């Protein structure tokens, strides 16, 4: 009895610290959100590296950044598991911060690829997924809301960072601007690694007692979904159904979100400045989607939520394919962006629910590949299936991809329900 009381007191003490850990991780997510400021950095980097002649090479470096960010959680999963969250975040911070500092001061293309392509890419891949996984272990009872908050801050950070960075570059030059953000990253994200604490042993089980079960909207009992390691997870059919749902859902959204400026300029004769307003609107809706759908996931059936955010773009893309009116276009783009943001807040709680909480950080790293796939494939599909500013075919392709994602989401729900008993 005395031991039980001691453990309960330990759990309650940790409970009191959770909000502090959340605040710290939100700050870390905000700073690593610098990864979304490429639009501001591209032209200054081109000029630094040699002018217009190296444009394609510089853009390729950014592709390397995206790929290394998305691949590193999976490729280095075994390594980071041994390090633990604190050391993984610290290592990622050093690579991320120093990557910015060095890339702002070099004209060597090789060093540029190493510092920015691999440094900031792998660094962000170590930091953000680790923070998301860590938050899932700290808030097993509020995974949707917390994941939505972290994902929202991460995805929306560029709204603040982009004008700040642009101003610093204009006033002081690229080298000074990236020195500033590099130092900020080293200090702020580095602090995360020192301030967070691992939950005490047994904490997940303690909190799960008060967490609502996920199922068909009624009381259910889990019977056959044990904690799985990364290796065990990828051998299940559930993994492939789930990751296809996320990958295809994100790809459909990315097809549209990546082309907002072009859609408004070519479809409605807007200037780049005018179109930028709508880019900001969709970015804001994507950020809000992470908060809103995260909250919905915690309070309602998470698999129904996933089906909704996969299914709504089928409708919006279908409408865009048959109508070119501006009000409808803006509304459909906004709803699509809202749904796209939802994938960022649902993937962590669903990963934990499907494959257990014990290995959620490393398992999330593998599921994170869905976003990398979307980022690489989505924009290319949109360009390939558009012609002279006409995106009708691209909208239809996006609708089909969303429909496939919806089918996969419904299969996930069916598989989950079959693993539960009254």
DSSP letters, 346-375, are: HHHHHHHHHH-STTHHHHHHHHTHHHHHHH
User: In the listed set 195, 227, 260, which residue is the last one of a domain according to the structure?
Assistant: 195
Q: Is residue 206 part of a domain?
A: no
Instruction: Supply the pLDDT for residue 152.
Output: 86
Q: Is residue 37 part of a domain?
A: yes
Across 65-74, 104-113, 293-302, 353-362, which has the greatest mean pLDDT? 104-113
pLDDT category at 104 given cuts 50, 70, 90 is very high
pLDDT category at 217 given cuts 50, 70, 90 is very low
Domain that holds residue 56: 2-195
Same domain, 9 and 102: yes
Same domain, 244 and 359: yes
Q: What is the mean pLDDT of residues 257-274?
A: 83
How many other CB atoms are there within 10 angstroms of residue 402's CB atom? 28
Same domain, 305 and 343: yes
- 223, pLDDT greater than 60: no
pLDDT category at 51 given cuts 50, 70, 90 is confident
Q: Is residue 122 part of a domain?
A: yes
Same domain, 42 and 188: yes
Distance (Å, whole) CA 281 – CA 319: 19
Distance (Å, whole) CA 232 – CA 240: 12
275-283 long-range contacts (CB < 8 A, ≥24 apart) are 278/330, 278/333, 280/159, 281/330, 281/333, 281/334, 281/337, 282/257, 282/333, 282/334, 282/336, 282/337, 283/155, 283/156, 283/158, 283/159, 283/337
Same domain, 399 and 290: yes
pLDDT category at 420 given cuts 50, 70, 90 is low
Q: Is residue 210 part of a domain?
A: no
Same domain, 73 and 110: yes
Locate 399 and state its tokens: 């609708």
Distance (Å, whole) CA 381 – CA 254: 10
Q: Let me know if 257 is exposed, middle or buried by CB neighbors in 10 A (0-12, 13-18, 19+).
A: buried
Same domain, 188 and 238: no
Q: Is residue 50 part of a domain?
A: yes
Same domain, 177 and 304: no
Q: Is residue 296 part of a domain?
A: yes
Q: What is the mean pLDDT of residues 255-272?
A: 84
319-328 long-range contacts (CB < 8 A, ≥24 apart) are 320/391, 320/395, 321/392, 321/395, 321/396, 321/399, 324/267, 326/268
Residues in Cβ contact with 46 at an 8 Å cutoff, skipping those fewer than 6 apart: 52, 54, 55, 58
**Could you tell me the CATH number of the domain that includes residue 259?**
1.20.1250.20
Mean pLDDT (the chain) is 86
pLDDT tens, position by position, 224-238 = 457 888 889 989 989
Q: Let me know if 151 is exposed, middle or buried by CB neighbors in 10 A (0-12, 13-18, 19+).
A: buried
* Helices and strands (H, E) in the chain, number of each type: 19, 2
- 4, pLDDT greater than 60: yes
Distance (Å, whole) CA 340 – CA 353: 21
What is the tally of structural domains in the chain?
2
Locate 358 and state its tokens: 């014990």
User: In the listed set 195, 230, 255, which residue is the last one of a domain according to the structure?
Assistant: 195
CA dihedral 382, 384, 389, 393 (to 10 degrees): -70
Instruction: Supply the pLDDT for residue 184.
Output: 96
| Secondary structure class of 216 (helix, strand, coil) | coil
Q: Is residue 234 part of a domain?
A: yes
Distance (Å, whole) CA 317 – CA 335: 10
Same domain, 373 and 268: yes
- 332, pLDDT greater than 90: yes
Same domain, 394 and 265: yes
pLDDT category at 2 given cuts 50, 70, 90 is low
pLDDT category at 162 given cuts 50, 70, 90 is confident
Distance (Å, whole) CA 63 – CA 46: 15
Same domain, 150 and 76: yes
Same domain, 76 and 159: yes
User: In the listed set 167, 195, 223, which residue is the last one of a domain according to the structure?
Assistant: 195
pLDDT category at 419 given cuts 50, 70, 90 is low
Q: Is residue 176 part of a domain?
A: yes
């Amino acid at each position: 009895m005395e031991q039980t009381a001691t453990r309960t007191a330990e759990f309650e003490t940790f409970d009191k610290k959770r909000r502090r850990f959340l605040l710290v991780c939100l700050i870390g997510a905000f700073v690593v959100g610098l990864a979304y400021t490429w639009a501001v950095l591209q032209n200054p980097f081109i000029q630094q590296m040699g002018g217009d002649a190296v444009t394609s090479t510089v853009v390729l470096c950014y592709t390397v950044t995206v790929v290394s960010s998305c691949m590193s959680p999976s490729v280095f999963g075994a390594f980071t598991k041994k390090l633990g969250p604190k050391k993984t975040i610290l290592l990622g911070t050093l690579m991320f911060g120093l990557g910015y500092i060095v890339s702002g001061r070099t004209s060597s293309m090789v060093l540029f690829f190493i510092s920015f392509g691999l440094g900031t890419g792998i660094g962000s891949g170590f930091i953000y997924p680790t923070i998301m996984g860590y938050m899932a272990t700290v808030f097993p009872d509020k995974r949707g809301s917390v994941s939505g908050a972290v994902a929202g801050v991460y995805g929306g950070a560029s709204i603040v960072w982009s004008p700040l960075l642009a101003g610093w570059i204009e006033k002081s030059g690229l080298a000074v601007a990236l020195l500033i953000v590099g130092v900020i990253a080293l200090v702020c994200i580095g602090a995360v690694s020192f301030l967070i604490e691992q939950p005490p042993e047994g904490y997940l089980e303690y909190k799960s007692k008060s967490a609502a079960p996920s199922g068909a909207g009624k009381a259910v009992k889990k019977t056959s979904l044990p904690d799985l390691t990364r290796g065990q997870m990828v051998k299940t059919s559930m993994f492939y159904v789930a990751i296809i749902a996320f990958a295809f859902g994100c790809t459909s959204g990315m097809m549209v979100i990546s082309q907002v400026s072009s859609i408004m300029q070519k479809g409605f004769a807007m200037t780049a400045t005018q179109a930028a307003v709508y880019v900001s609107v969709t970015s804001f809706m994507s950020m809000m989607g992470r908060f809103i759908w995260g909250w919905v996931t915690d309070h309602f059936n998470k698999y129904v939520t996933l089906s909704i955010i996969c299914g709504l773009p089928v409708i919006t893309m279908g409408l865009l394919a048959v109508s070119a009116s501006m009000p409808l276009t803006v509304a459909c783009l906004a709803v699509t962006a809202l749904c796209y943001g939802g994938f960022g807040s649902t993937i962590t709680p669903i990963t934990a629910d499907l494959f257990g909480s014990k290995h959620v950080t490393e398992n999330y790293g593998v599921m994170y590949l869905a976003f990398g796939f979307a980022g690489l494939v989505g924009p290319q599909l949109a360009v390939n299936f558009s012609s002279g500013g006409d995106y009708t075919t691209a909208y239809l392709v996006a609708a089909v991809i969303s429909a496939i994602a919806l089918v996969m989401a419904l299969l996930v729900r069916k598989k989950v329900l079959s693993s539960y008993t009254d």
